[in-house]
Amino acid sequence: LLLDRATIEGLLSMKETIDLTEQAFKELAGQTVDMPQRMVMADAERAGNKLFMPAHMKGIGALGIKVVTVFHNNPTQHGLPTILANITLLDQGTGETLCIMEGGYITAMRTGAVSGVATRYMARQAASVVGVVGTGAQARTQLSAMCAVRPIERAVCVSTGNLERQRAFVDEMSQEM
């Protein structure tokens, strides 16, 4: 099974991602996760790194590896994002490949979901104002996650990015949230 970004975007909600992230934290705390330190390979030729992140969550039966490349020259030299990722999901009993997925969106959603889990347990129930640092992909999913678990009415965003990108973020998130 091959899942591209558009397919994953249509299948994965923030609420589900928050719940799954919380479950993953519980498994990690319960020591039913085998997750070695990620392997990083420097790549001076491409001004970046290659990262390999295997994990086995025995409780839910998930076995896989995420491969991430961070090539800083991609946007100018190849018209590609700086960060690219793919996730391979394996059958934990046989090792057979079950699925290969685009990993950038899943990573952004998981990063945002961590903020959702933290907000769920650490923010006041009636919290209605949040602060967000940055206006990139992670800021979008973090704001989305906080809005999924609290009645957020106002977001204060701080960014050193260009003004056009900041305005696009505010316009997009105002409509979405």
**50 labelled catalytic:** no
Residue 143's Cβ-count burial label (10 Å; 0-12, 13-18, 19+) is buried
Please say whether the beta carbons of 104 and 7 come within 8 A. no
Q: Is 37 exposed, middle or buried (0-12, 13-18, 19+ CB in 10 A)?
A: exposed
Q: Give the single-character DSSP code of 74.
A: I
Q: Both tokens of residue 18? A: 């928050």
Instruction: Kindly name the residue from 15, 50, 58, 66 that is annotated as catalytic.
Output: 66
Question: Residue 61 in 3-state DSSP?
Answer: coil
Map residue 127 onto helix, strand or coil: coil
As annotated, the active-site residues are 66
